[in-house]
Amino acid sequence: MTVNTAGGLKKMSAKELAQIVFNQAELFILDVRSETEYNDWKIEGDKIEVVNLPYFELLEGVDSALDKIPEHKKVLVVCAKEGSSKFVAEQMVEAGRSNIYYLEGGMKAWSEHLEPVKIGDLKAGGAIYQFVRIGKGCLSYMVISDGEAAVVDTLRMTEVYEKFAQDRNVSIQHTIDTHLHADHISGGKKLADKAGAAYWLPPKDAAEVTFSYEKLEEGKEIAVGNTKIKIQPIYSPGHTIGSTSLLVDDTYLLTGDILFIASIGRPDLAGKAADWAQDLRSTLYRRYRELSDELIVLPAHFGKVSELGEGGRVSARMGELYRTNPGLHIQDEAEFRRTVTENLPPQPNAYQKIRQTNMGKMTPSEEEQREMEIGPNRCAVHDK
């Protein structure tokens, strides 16, 4: 709910902003972060217009900025943590502008907001939900059946999953990471420990982890609830050597960071691009090709808001991706290797520290974790 503050200034929550993006509604954003921060990472939407005017240029007043800001549109002022945007928004209201908002919690809150979206029902009852971390492009999942739940590619905001499960009167029995993540800090082990659940991780990605885990391997089925909803691991290396996809209820394929809606995974985040490029090709061009075209692909990330479907869902049929995804149409092996090893987007911010944290070798504070995760995910080959 939008809250009015003194003087007519209004604040907008990250959840409200997410709904604007999901619904493809119009919004004008004045981003007052530095040019460097803005160019690294910004709020995007089909009908969102963004202008960057750094805060320090507006300290003496906003008069010079008013001609760049439409008078008859909803305007949202954005900064890193809230304070600067609130100050600028107040100046705009004092200058006579109306319909002015500031983003509550700033880009920090935008980065951490998770929006749950129902993907579909399961054959024997239950459902699968996608949690869209819209500000960072991360996707995680909860499979619910017969009073039990499994959470896949859990993000560090574990309280969101706990509350979601509690509201539906289900107990979390499993948390699963499809691979050792490098762009965000996993909440899988933390959530498993809090819920008394089993934590699953591919053993080929776990050579250096410092904690106990269940081995996520092909041939081992994970059951959720007495209705025996099956989660079947499918070994699918390439993004990492241990990357493992999950076939859920013979209907949904959770591909981790191997296959996205508009791109494919990058093999370089552990420094082994040359070694893993062939694994990636084999997974995409052979292993996945053996699977049904009717499977609904659910990736662990999206790169652009154009990949969001109805209600914010990120999904596509496997057959559709083999028709439309450019990463699945590189027939020449040498060209494929060049594509996935050269001219890649920048690597995720602090990705080495994030990998170390996900191995249990580092224990950064909450604030340090936030700083490590700031920015886009950059897990795909074509996300530039």
Catalytic positions, written as ranges: 79
Going by C-alpha positions, the residue among 154, 165, 266, 255 that lies closest to residue 200 is 154
Helix-helix angle 366-373:351-358, to 10 degrees: 130
The answer to whether 168 and 155 are in contact (CB under 8 A) is no
Strands across the sheet containing 244-248: 222-224, 229-235, 244-248, 252-256, 296-299, 316-317
DSSP element (H, E) containing 173: strand 171-176
- As to burial, measured by CB atoms within 10 angstroms (0-12 exposed, 13-18 middle, 19+ buried), residue 6 is exposed
307: three-class secondary structure by DSSP:
helix
Token pair in block for residue 366: 């909450």
Helix-helix angle 273-282:333-341, to 10 degrees: 130
Amino acid at residue number 138: C
Going by C-alpha positions, the residue among 343, 318, 314, 323 that lies closest to residue 140 is 314
The answer to whether 234 and 272 are in contact (CB under 8 A) is no
What are the contacts of 5-10 at 24+ separation with CB within 8 A? 7/90, 7/93, 7/94, 8/93, 8/98, 8/100, 9/86, 9/89, 9/90, 9/93, 9/100, 9/101, 9/102, 10/100, 10/101, 10/102
d(CA 307, CA 218): 29
Judging by DSSP bridges, how do beta strands 127-133 and 244-248 pair with one another? unpaired
Token pair in block for residue 59: 């300290």
257: three-class secondary structure by DSSP:
coil
